[in-house]
Structure formats: C-alpha cells, structure tokens
Amino acid sequence: MSIGNRLKQVRQNKKLTVEEFSQIVNIPARTLGGYEREERKPPLEFLEILKNKFNVNINWLLTSEGEMFIKNESIHSLQELKEKYNLTDEELRLLNELLVSPEKRKGLLNLLK
C-alpha cells in the first residue's frame, strides 16, 4: 500500500471528506487529493501536522509498519523521555519506531546479543 493510500485511509477512518480534512490540516483540497493519488509527495511538515492533529503514526504512514495511530499517552510519555534524557528529534523518532514495531525491537535485540 502506498503513502497516498494510507493517507486516504487515515482520512476515511476519521470519516472526513477531502474538503473537511484539508481544512483541518490547512492545505487546499486539490493538494490533498494530489497526495492521495500519488501525484505528489507530501512534505515532512505535512506529516508532522498529521501527527499533531490526528496522532498519526508517521512510521506507519511511511512504511505501513506499526499502528495507524499513536495513543495519546505514548505521545506524552515520549515527550517526557525526550526532556528527561535530552534526546534529539532523531533519537525520539527511532525510539518511537522501536515502540510501535515488534519486528524492529526483535531485530535490535538480536543485534545486541
């Protein structure tokens, strides 16, 4: 499944039309339609908006691994870890990937053995 298809799946899961969804994420409906039809790739800033507005798991959106949505408590916990251990955004992203992907956790554990 492509990013465009997964993006459409998020929108449909929220029971929103292209117009409604595009208003929430503050982009033209035509642009959103282009992303869904794979005519153009969404920029990273757009993916961040999806994460912030809908708790979309960016790793799932890009790779289809893990769950479609991140639970709210996970977001707050990750932010707390970032602040407590002074993690970079990249370290936080990798940590999130490990949390949502059992396969990646298994791979890391095998690598560490």
- Model confidence over 44-100: pLDDT tens digits? 889 989 998 898 999 899 888 889 998 765 556 677 777 888 888 888 878 777 776
Do residues 50 and 16 touch, judged by C-beta distance below 8 A?
Answer: no
What's the token pair of residue 110?
């095998």
Identify the CATH number of the domain defined by range 1-64.
1.10.260.40
Q: Please, how many CA atoms are within 13 Å of residue 101, restricted to the half-sphere of its CB?
A: 21
What is the Cα–Cα distance from 98 to 81, expressed in whole angstroms? 14
pTM: 0.62
Maximum C-alpha span of the chain: 50
C-alpha torsion 84→89→90→94, nearest 10: 60
- Ordered by start, the domain boundaries in the chain are 1-64, 71-113
